[in-house]
Amino acid sequence: MNASLPVDSARLAGELEELAQFSEAAPPAVTRVLFSEADLAARAWLRARYEEAGLVVRVDPVGNVFARWEGTDPSLAPVATGSHIDAIPNAGRFDGTVGVLGALEAVRALRAAGFQPRRPIEIIQFTAEEPTRFGLGCLGSRLLAGTLAAEQAALLRDPEGRGLEDLRAAAGCTGDLAAVRLPAGACAGFVELHIEQGPILEREGLAIGAVEKIAAPSSARARLIGEGGHAGAVLMPQRHDAGLAAAEIALAVERAARGGGSADAVGTVGVFRVAPGAINSVPHTAWIEIDQRDTNPATLAQARGEVHRAAEEICARRGVQLEWEVINADEPASSAPELVDTVREAARALGLREMPMVSRAYHDTLFMARVCPVTMIFIPCRNGWSHRPDEFAAPSAVAAGVATLAETLRRLAG
């Protein structure tokens, strides 16, 4: 690896471990929900690291954190990088955090190498990439991009009924949510470093993935209302079983993903509940939540429509009432070819083997693509595992990603 980019992998590994200690779960699991005590402590710890590195920090009204390294021409729009630090329950210590602490280490490496950017370089620590608190992922980047209106965000409630407005105020995030949106031209480009969360790089023995496309999530929830009764006394011709209607819809989700002609299409029913939940009682109500994703907007829209139409037909046939709510229906994003090329060239310059990739998980970059040109840098993680306590990326893999990010930023901001 290029010695002119002195990445301190031991320091970075130590900081990743230290950040993981800010958790609502016992090690090795990490649980860090937006504006929880653990999240607020982690934010304070990170702010101190930014300031130690000589970066100027500001926090917007929803809690997105910006740490800026000023360039020689501050009139130029910054090149941005970053990710998130919130973690779903029982997660690991690399998802998101590699892109935040890795960005900080990339800035340190560039400083140590004597580089002075012409454009400012800005690290963005996004609020609530995970949907844990409000059921909606990428809260901070949605507001930055303007794809979520401030008045809609203000109505968000968590499962305990606590609203975003009260929670952000308690966390010291003040100001009008409408002010979060970035104006046109606010960023010259955005590059996010992230673990792959899949097995391809490890399987191929490659160090770097340059992301060309990012799949978009489409989420819906349904409440199915049928008729309950005794499991022995209600004969099959008289049943209006909400649970079986939900099961049929779940199979329709799978069918739509498999039959749409897109290799990147997936469909998941990750929430499935019935009431009363007794072995000897016909379910009178069922609740399901559906996640559909694809990199192709046309086939994603086709699959969404297919599942909704199937749900209506299934419920009508079974005599079950359907209540359908679209949580979000986002569009996939394509990376800027020139940024993908820059990442690949940076990796090769460092002697690292790379390949173009698709991100089938979505990230804050999906919404930053509405703001400026984007791409992502993927690094391998063990067995492709993520969102679990044994999530792991080797220090050498993380260091290779940070060096590639630093070299990319050098080329974009120089």
Q: What global pTM score does this model have?
A: 0.92
Angle between helices 395-413 and 337-349 (to 10 degrees): 120
Share of the chain above pLDDT 70, in %: 99
| Domain boundaries along the sequence of the chain | 9-215+333-413, 216-329
| CATH among 3.30.1330.10, 3.30.70.360, 3.90.320.10, 1.10.287.620 for 216-329 | 3.30.70.360
List the structure tokens of 288: 């399901």
Whether the pLDDT of residue 3 is over 80: the answer is no
User: How does residue 4 score in pLDDT terms, banded at 50, 70 and 90?
Assistant: low
CATH class, 9-215+333-413 region: alpha beta
pLDDT computed for residue 1 by the predictor: 44
Distance CA 406, CA 414 (A): 11
Closest CA to 269 of 280, 283, 284, 255: 255
List the structure tokens of 250: 């779940």
Q: What is the side-by-side strand order in the sheet with 321-329? A: 266-275, 285-294, 216-225, 321-329
Whether the pLDDT of residue 316 is over 60: the answer is yes
Q: How confident is the model over 216-246, as pLDDT tens digits?
A: 989 999 999 999 999 999 999 999 999 999 9
